[in-house]
Chain A
């Protein structure tokens, strides 16, 4: 069969610091142009050294009607791939061929104008997403009914509740009937009901024989919805096949979870000329490096780094994300010994102890950073430096008790519960039973 999407050697290069350059004033450019050609040449060298490939040499084909999951660590190139497919940004190399209309659920509500009424926004948003006016007119009633906003359809959307706003926005996107649907779950904002709606819509679209690409950190959802999964790492495809197989490989390969990461070469390690990261590790309370930790036991996260220049007050900090990409919490060093104190040159190890019965079960991705808080300088931030699984036993002595089902939430603390009787029933149970029998 002819593929509906054909990607050949696709690549996208970004320049690190392009953001700053973008906002740089005209003056900088003019000043640069007036300086010696040597300077311009030097600049070029610097730029090429600090560019990176978000997507590199990616090739695959998708047949019509396929539902394909796309997984990988944060920064593996998943979102860039979707942006390239939806033509928001242009590839640096390679080529994509696709047939038909592409829509993505990451653009829900894009182009909504708060001053315009619901009715007007349906037309505007529909046109922005690529619908013809006649098509919007035909589906108008259906969209309004789906969004359940009939009574407010002529009210400016700035007066809508956030739920109504989201429902209306989603209703327009859901009625687009694209040949190819892109879903980026991390970007899909909203409550769980709305996310549920997204997933249901995806399944429905799949049943209609349309093609879906689904980016997610939610491994159960991937294996449930997608027969095939593509695994990205460092912008490249490193796995493509049946979902159960790829997801399994991902979780066990150490790409999904790595309890230890070591940067042997200091010159290429994350950091700058002030401080560089040497290693990040997850340990059990006994000091053993491990990526599978008991929910009831404390664990230790450590960061080893080298201070190259004693010039800043440094604060190591860890950032925890769960597998749905939700920011669980941030932990900054609070050691009073180093408060407002510049760290002399040398090698350091900062450890943070996370108590038992705090985290929820599942995978946690840990970003490691060192910042200077007074001037808000980030010396480095290594996303997903390590990751580990928190495993909840069914022994009955964790916070889940004897309940064996799904327990949502980013934390699962063991709280101090107590129950006492406030008012006893007038008659003892035995007496009541006796009365009933009479």
Chain B
């Protein structure tokens, strides 16, 4: 576009005032359209808001489900692991220990499941309107944060009940939550994109989540022996970090660091893989 005021510009201000949109085949392997992501940012908010609003519609218990899920699991695991198997959870009472692990885990599991199935559930949007597709799985993860906040209420109650005081280490908590969100986003986005092409994901995902849970120290303390092997699982650093922040224990910086590095790697791969597959969504979904 020329900067001089040409006569043609005077005659057609309504055209040249508008931003130019170019649609063409992408020769480059991957393209991330940051301009579009920014232009549609309000849509991310609306999609998240929709997911939150719709989640507990027509349920009798409503948002109480956000607390019930980890609470019931905690009670079951308390019975089997603490009472029957006699697993020791150190100086933290087992119910509190388990709940503090189940909290980030439930968020992560629900976020990954929700976003993994989100694109396939939005077929009519994808085939009819253009907008950055990335927002669909992202909104599903974001909506899970609301559940996490609700479940936190019970955690505070448990901490008061067991007399756990406030620690300076609580400052670490937001960092750990952001890390969990990014990991859920990375895994969820990748799964949602694969799900468009391979519906196997729908069946594999719940199984994968279950296995992943047992591979993470959610309901048992981290065995010292296999520390290195375990730290390959990014959820290990996250859950351990979550507990350390709550109970004022010294955080395991190396586990947290490797967790952050793996999360970032997954997220970057996922974003690129998603943008690569994105252009075919409307044709194959």
Let me know if B200 and A97 touch, CB within 8 A: no
Given A96-B22, A98-B21, does the pair A88, B43 have CB atoms closer than 8 Å?
A: no
Let me know if A22 and B285 touch, CB within 8 A: yes
Q: How far is the CB of A98 from chain B (nearest CB, A)?
A: 5
Let me know if A90 and B18 touch, CB within 8 A: no
How far is it, in angstroms, between the C-alpha of A430 and the C-alpha of B199 when the chains are bound? Answer: 83
B interface residues, how many (CB within 8 angstroms): 46
Q: Is B215 an interface residue (CB 8 A)?
A: no
Let me know if A87 and B130 touch, CB within 8 A: yes
Residues of A with C-beta under 8 A to B14 = 64, 100, 179, 209
Q: Is A106 an interface residue (CB 8 A)?
A: yes
- Which A residues, 101 to 121, have Cβ-Cβ distances below 8 Å to chain B? 101-102, 106-107, 110-111, 113, 115-116, 120
Chain B, residues 7-26, CB within 8 Å of chain A (1/0): the string is 01001101110111111111
Let me know if B42 and A133 touch, CB within 8 A: yes
Let me know if B22 and A90 touch, CB within 8 A: no
Q: Is B69 an interface residue (CB 8 A)?
A: no
B23, B131, B197: the one contacting A96 at CB < 8 Å is B23
Let me know if A1 and B11 touch, CB within 8 A: yes
Q: Is A89 an interface residue (CB 8 A)?
A: yes
Q: Is B35 an interface residue (CB 8 A)?
A: no
Given A26-B200, A85-B23, A90-B25, does the pair A1, B129 have CB atoms closer than 8 Å?
A: no
Residues of B with C-beta under 8 A to A113 = 50, 54
Q: Is A93 an interface residue (CB 8 A)?
A: yes
Let me know if B24 and A115 touch, CB within 8 A: no
Q: Is B283 an interface residue (CB 8 A)?
A: yes
Q: Is B249 an interface residue (CB 8 A)?
A: no
Residues of B with C-beta under 8 A to A102 = 21
- Which B residues, 183 to 206, have Cβ-Cβ distances below 8 Å to chain A? 196-200
B11, B24, B45, B198: the one contacting A95 at CB < 8 Å is B24
Residues of B with C-beta under 8 A to A116 = 50, 53-54
Binds B, one of A124-132, A144-152, A380-388: A124-132
Q: How far is the CB of A31 from chain B (nearest CB, A)?
A: 13
Residues of A with C-beta under 8 A to B83 = none
How far is it, in angstroms, between the C-alpha of A90 and the C-alpha of B45 when the chains are bound? Answer: 26
A111, A123, A156, A179: the one contacting B18 at CB < 8 Å is A179
Let me know if B54 and A2 touch, CB within 8 A: no
Residues of A with C-beta under 8 A to B16 = 2, 99
Residues of A with C-beta under 8 A to B282 = 83, 88-89
How far is it, in angstroms, between the C-alpha of A183 and the C-alpha of B11 when the chains are bound? Answer: 27
Q: Is B227 an interface residue (CB 8 A)?
A: no
Given A91-B23, A92-B25, A98-B23, does the pair A4, B129 have CB atoms closer than 8 Å?
A: no
Given A1-B12, A91-B23, does the pair A86, B129 have CB atoms closer than 8 Å?
A: yes
Residues of A with C-beta under 8 A to B15 = 1-2, 4, 64, 99-100
Chain B, residues 263-285, CB within 8 Å of chain A (1/0): the string is 00000000000000001101111
Residue of B nearest to A90 (CB): B279
Scoring A14, A88, A129 by chain B CB atoms within 10 A of each residue's CB, the highest score goes to A88
Q: Is B88 an interface residue (CB 8 A)?
A: no
A14, A110, A133: the one contacting B128 at CB < 8 Å is A110
Q: Is A219 an interface residue (CB 8 A)?
A: no
Q: Is B57 an interface residue (CB 8 A)?
A: yes
Residue of A nearest to B199 (CB): A23
Chain B, residues 114-130, CB within 8 Å of chain A (1/0): the string is 00000000001111111
Q: Is A25 an interface residue (CB 8 A)?
A: yes
Q: How far is the CB of A404 from chain B (nearest CB, A)?
A: 41
Residue of A nearest to B26 (CB): A90
- Which B residues, 38 to 59, have Cβ-Cβ distances below 8 Å to chain A? 40, 42-43, 45-47, 49-50, 53-54, 57-58
Let me know if B24 and A1 touch, CB within 8 A: no
How far is it, in angstroms, between the C-alpha of A381 and the C-alpha of B7 when the chains are bound? Answer: 54
Let me know if B125 and A94 touch, CB within 8 A: no
A97, A110, A156: the one contacting B22 at CB < 8 Å is A97
Q: Is A29 an interface residue (CB 8 A)?
A: yes
Chain A, residues 347-386, CB within 8 Å of chain B (1/0): the string is 0000000000000000000000000000000000000000
How far is it, in angstroms, between the C-alpha of A93 and the C-alpha of B57 when the chains are bound? Answer: 45
Residues of B with C-beta under 8 A to A2 = 8, 12, 15-16
Given contacts A64-B12, A87-B130, A111-B129, 14 further A-B contacts (CB under 8 A): A2-B15, A24-B198, A91-B23, A95-B23, A95-B24, A99-B18, A100-B18, A113-B54, A124-B46, A127-B42, A127-B45, A128-B131, A129-B129, A130-B40
- Which A-B residue pairs are the 4 nearest by beta carbons? A100-B18, A22-B284, A87-B130, A127-B46
27 A–B contacts, CB within 8 A, in A order: A1-B8, A2-B8, A18-B284, A19-B284, A21-B284, A25-B199, A27-B200, A29-B198, A64-B14, A83-B282, A85-B23, A86-B130, A87-B23, A89-B279, A90-B23, A90-B26, A91-B25, A95-B22, A96-B22, A99-B20, A106-B128, A107-B129, A111-B129, A116-B54, A120-B53, A128-B43, A130-B40
Binding site for A on B (CB under 8 A): 8, 11-12, 14-16, 18-26, 40, 42-43, 45-47, 49-50, 53-54, 57-58, 124-131, 196-200, 279-280, 282-285
